[in-house]
Structure 1
Amino acid sequence: MPFLSGSLSFERFRVKQFEDGPFGQEHIERMAENVAGRTETANEENVHLGFLGGDHLFDQDFDLAKNIIDDAVHFGVRVDTNQVPSVIKKAWLSMELAALSRENPGGKPTKSQRKEAKEAVEQRCENEAATGKYRKFQQHALLWDCSRDLLYYGGTAGTGSGHCIDLLERVFGIECGHIGAGVVAQDWARDNDRYSEMDDVMPSSFVSGEAFSGVAWANEHSQSPDFLGNEFLLWLWWMLETETDTIETFDGTEVTLMLAKTLSLECPLGDSGKESISAECPTKLPEAMRAIQSGKLPRKTGMTLIREGQQFDLTLQAETFGISGARIHLDEDDNDFGPEDRIEAVRTLSDTIDGMFHTFCDRRTSEAWSADLNGMRGWLAPTQAARKSAA
């Protein structure tokens, strides 16, 4: 499973209302009682959710020593479906209608024939589903860090994570909420007595003549200022180009940073579309500079981080703070890097991203932001003016 080996990809969820104390044998038994594969999905449209032991798709073994590592629970969830693909259903329906309406004037089916054809297809779907012919398995890796009330979902939040969260909430009586850039910012503001300042934050305009109150990709159902993730990546870019490659985190440690490999940008107004750049140092390319000078904001970027001798290569998604393709670089002489060290590296990576973002939030909600904003506008302005005069 990816949390214990290979590259890392995850998004985070806050776990609330887990009041049973340390994760122990009772909770392991609950997982075993809801293990994947115990109930087969014989009916059409049925979805079955179950826990996995964490080793592979059919791992049904749970054990304290195996699954609980350094106050974190490593496990999986399997989603079993048994659904006939819609394209096949459509084909069967067309065949039934053609057979029933063959003798009709003009070959058009009647209302009753349409109903008969639909019922025939539904029955055929049930029969085919009962054979298991269309049964599919999806495996999801999870790491529940009980010491921090965090759940790491090994992928991009969506339908799969929703299934996993539903199962966990039902079995353990907890609540899980997604942690994106806006939630991280609000949590930091609440802990540092800056909530009113954070509540007043609106998207900044980095290009003269451009003003907007929201971004085109904003989640209309969320009240969190996730756009701060986009501004954070642009601020890091500016810092690297004009100030330093070392960011002091809010807790006082230092992170050496380089933006690398990939860069995705998009117009916050939704006017000029998206742009994706792949290169060793994408922010150094002229097309990248032209994109942000035209008002585009970063939505995703690759980066290399070094903190206290630990190096990570990863891609960070701005609004969700989703991490993908993260690689942990180990000392070649370190042969004792075990599961506990791997989980601690996940925590370190998570803390490092949050720590740099907290530094940004501190400046974003203080008088220092005015100087930073003017500096960023000045950084973008000269070439923009030159381009306008050339035109």
Structure 2
Amino acid sequence: MGLLNGPLTFSRFMVVGRPPSDFSEFIDQRIKRHAFHGIGTDAQEKIMGWVGIENLLDTDFRHASYAWGDYLLFSLRIDRRSVPPSLLKIRALEAEQQHLKETGRKKIDKATREQIRDSVRQGLLGRTLPTPSFYEICWSVSNGSLLFTNLSEKVMQDFQDLFKASFDLTPLPYVPWDPQVMDKETAGNVEALQTADAGAVDPKTLGREFLTWLWFKSEERNGTILIPGVGETEINLVRRLVLESGDGDYSESVVCQGMHADLKEGRDALRRGKKIKEARLKLSRDAATWEFTLKADRFQFQSLKMPVVMDMKEEQENRDGRVLERIYLLETVIRSMDRLFAMFVSLRLPENWQHERTRMEKWLQSSSGQ
């Protein structure tokens, strides 16, 4: 599974609210109360609850199996039933014909047709086996941050609803330009960008501008950047880049792929005003390397490959240490990207941006990008 091993895709949240003083007992009671207890024999379309992260059948959470040091690790299970539209259509037509035959009528009014359709649908749901899905959670209690291993808006909303009902705390989706999650300096810089006399910046576009700046930095000094509070870090764009212009039905995308995608097509798209929506990045520091796709609009990580942690299949005590080491490596790449973003926002201020922008324009117009 992603949090314990293998590639990892996740969205980020900040947990808002004041937890009770007896937090450990509170969590133990609430996670068990809202554990997954199976889907009934009726026609429920969806049922969800918490299960163990290692044993997906664990709904007892004995010995606080969700507790790993300062972290709470567990999974969300959602079972859904659905009826294929084509099956519902044919069964409803059959039921309507049967109704006409039994009543001797020639037509069915709208209300009756809807009742028949609903009855057929409920009957089909009751005979349909649910499909289970599992999503992992890593909750850092000390700093109120949380990772959820899915990017779907629908699934994230289900998670937020159950989490709030379970723990009386609110998980807010994280983006680094949200004043509720930023440090004071970065929050002040974002506010200054919004109110700048010479061209105010929409915070929602900052993620895309950030990825464009990262592309530029990846080709300057061989991609080496001195990140405040982190140190010398090398960052490169690899294999895939998605650019977009416009909104909604009027959006137009360009996808560039290749081992290191010389990305000539991507440069042309930038010159035409497109913004980078997502990029595959490789970040290296010391002897560690991370590779992932960063989605600019929500700052979500997709298919993150982390530095190798030794085999998890060993004694429990050592294994627990390996899991915590993996979480440490996960937090390291997240912190690096957040600080890179804060660095970009500082440079993006009007008094700093002209110099950086001039260099970026020269880079963009050059044939080699050097």
Please state which band the TM-score falls in when normalised by the shorter chain: 0.7 to 0.9
Alignment of 1:19-38 (within 5 A): 19-21=19-21, 23-38=23-38
Q: CA deviation at 1:19?
A: 2.1
Q: Distance in 2 between matches of 1:202 and 1:267?
A: 25
Q: Distance in 1 between matches of 2:187 and 2:118?
A: 58
Q: Does the CA contact (< 8 Å) of 2:244 and 2:252 recur in 1?
A: yes
Alignment of 1:234-383 (within 5 A): 234-268=212-246, 273-282=252-261, 284-330=262-308, 338-365=322-349, 367-381=351-365
Q: Distance in 2 between matches of 1:291 and 1:262?
A: 14
Normalised by the length of structure 1, the TM-score is: 0.81
Q: Distance in 2 between matches of 1:54 and 1:232?
A: 34
Matched, 1:66 2:65: yes
Q: Distance in 2 between matches of 1:186 and 1:149?
A: 10
- Code of the residue aligned with 1:164 in structure 2: it is F
- Find the residue that maps to 2:2 and give its secondary structure: coil
Q: 2:160 aligns with which of 159, 162, 165?
A: 165
Q: Distance in 2 between matches of 1:301 and 1:36?
A: 37
- Code of the residue aligned with 2:29 in structure 1: it is E
Matched, 1:82 2:81: yes
4+ residue runs over 6 A deviation = 269-272, 331-337
Q: Does the CA contact (< 8 Å) of 1:203 and 1:228 recur in 2?
A: no
CA 1:269–1:62: 2 relative to 1, 3 Å: closer
CA 1:12–1:316: 2 relative to 1, 3 Å: same
CA 1:237–1:142: 2 relative to 1, 3 Å: same
- Code of the residue aligned with 1:12 in structure 2: it is R
CA 1:10–1:381: 2 relative to 1, 3 Å: same
CA root-mean-square deviation: 3.2
CA 1:275–1:379: 2 relative to 1, 3 Å: same
Aligned residues: 359
Structure 2 gap ranges (5+): none
Q: Distance in 2 between matches of 1:262 and 1:185?
A: 32
Structure 1 gap ranges (5+): 205-212, 215-223, 384-391
Q: CA deviation at 1:110?
A: 2.2
* CA deviation string 1:341-373 (max 9, x = no partner): 011111112101111111111111252211111
Partner of 1:8: 8
Partner of 1:388: none
Q: Distance in 2 between matches of 1:248 and 1:303?
A: 17
- Find the residue that maps to 1:36 and give its secondary structure: coil
CA 1:22–1:342: 2 relative to 1, 3 Å: farther
CA 1:288–1:365: 2 relative to 1, 3 Å: same
* % identical aligned pairs: 21
Q: Does the CA contact (< 8 Å) of 1:45 and 1:83 recur in 2?
A: no
Normalised by the length of structure 2, the TM-score is: 0.85
Q: 2:107 aligns with which of 82, 93, 110?
A: 110
